[in-house]
Amino acid sequence: MWKFFHKLASPPHFYRLAPRFVLGFGVVGCVLIGWGTYAGLFLAPPDYQQKDAFRIIYVHVPAAYLSMMAYSIMAISAGIGLIWRMKLAHSVAAAAAPLGAWFTFSALVTGAIWGRPMWGTWWEWGDPRVMSELLMLFLYIGYIALRVAIDEIGKADKASAVLALVGAVNIPIIHYSVEWWTSVHQGQTVVGGKMAPEMLQPLLLNILGFTLLFGAMLLYRVRTEVLHRERRSRWVKAEVLQTVGAP
């Protein structure tokens, strides 16, 4: 087991292994999303309070969940890279940031669209869940901007890892904000068995589908990051020559 992980941490080994998972995750993810979205939009019964508007949950919850999951992956990888100086860990952190930012943006926009018919407003500045999620988008943007601003990769890795670790405090705040403070945002629905199985199953399918798609995109982006970092190494030159052809 340890031998497998040790080998996986080697950039060339990861680069060659990742494509096998990218295609599988991508195809299965798309199928699950198609199935889950169809069941959620057309087969699930309407909610007794929110009526059909609750169906936004089938895209909003996966996006919100992945926004936090991407940040957790980013912070844990950054921590591993900072402590154990593992090259691949910093690549994973750097690759997770743009994806996390996209999913956070999606969660905020779909949340605003859901808020209009349910709360009577697109945006609620005083809501702790909305504000902590917005803060996470700024953390992602800050992380990406910091990496771009520092030319030397080693320094960029260290500085951005510190920012990612400090910002990780926002994850439990987002998760528990609806319990800790008064919020217009509804409480935890998925955890706690408050949803009827016919409503919950399409949601779980979509969460799994979007997670697999996220995994595929993450692996793809980590490969690009590895390529960038190892561009002067002999194995990358051989890989490029094999892909784009001899100069």
Name the site residues for another protein (rule: CB under 8 A). Answer: 37, 41, 51-53, 55-56, 58-60, 62-63, 98-99, 102-103, 105-106, 109-110, 113-114, 116-117, 210, 213, 217, 220-221, 223-224, 227-228, 231, 236-237, 240-241, 243-245, 247
User: Tokens standing for 181?
Assistant: 């403070």
By beta-carbon proximity to another protein, the closer residue of 58 and 160 is 58
Q: How far is the CB of 179 from another protein (least distance, A)?
A: 25
Q: How far is the CB of 86 from another protein (least distance, A)?
A: 21
Q: How far is the CB of 102 from another protein (least distance, A)?
A: 4
By beta-carbon proximity to another protein, the closer residue of 77 and 223 is 223
| SS3 (DSSP) at 47 | strand
Q: How far is the CB of 41 from another protein (least distance, A)?
A: 7
State the Cα–Cα distance between residues 84 and 78, nearest whole angstrom. 10
| SS3 (DSSP) at 51 | strand
Instruction: Please give the DSSP secondary-structure letter assigned to residue 46.
Output: P
By beta-carbon proximity to another protein, the closer residue of 164 and 229 is 229
Burial of 88 (0-12, 13-18, 19+ CB in 10 A): buried
- From residue 95, alpha-carbon distances to 78, 131, 144, 157, 165 in Å are 11, 25, 10, 12, 16
Q: Across-strand partners of 51? A: 47
Q: How far is the CB of 219 from another protein (least distance, A)?
A: 10
Helix (H) or strand (E) holding 247: none
By beta-carbon proximity to another protein, the closer residue of 40 and 82 is 40
Instruction: Please give the DSSP secondary-structure letter assigned to residue 181.
Output: S
By beta-carbon proximity to another protein, the closer residue of 106 and 170 is 106
By beta-carbon proximity to another protein, the closer residue of 82 and 114 is 114
State the Cα–Cα distance between residues 204 and 134, nearest whole angstrom. 25
Q: How far is the CB of 56 from another protein (least distance, A)?
A: 5
By beta-carbon proximity to another protein, the closer residue of 105 and 181 is 105
* Long-range pairs, 110-116, Cβ under 8 A, ≥24: 110/56, 110/59, 110/60, 110/63, 111/60, 111/64, 113/56, 114/53, 114/56, 114/57, 114/60, 115/184
Q: How far is the CB of 224 from another protein (least distance, A)?
A: 4
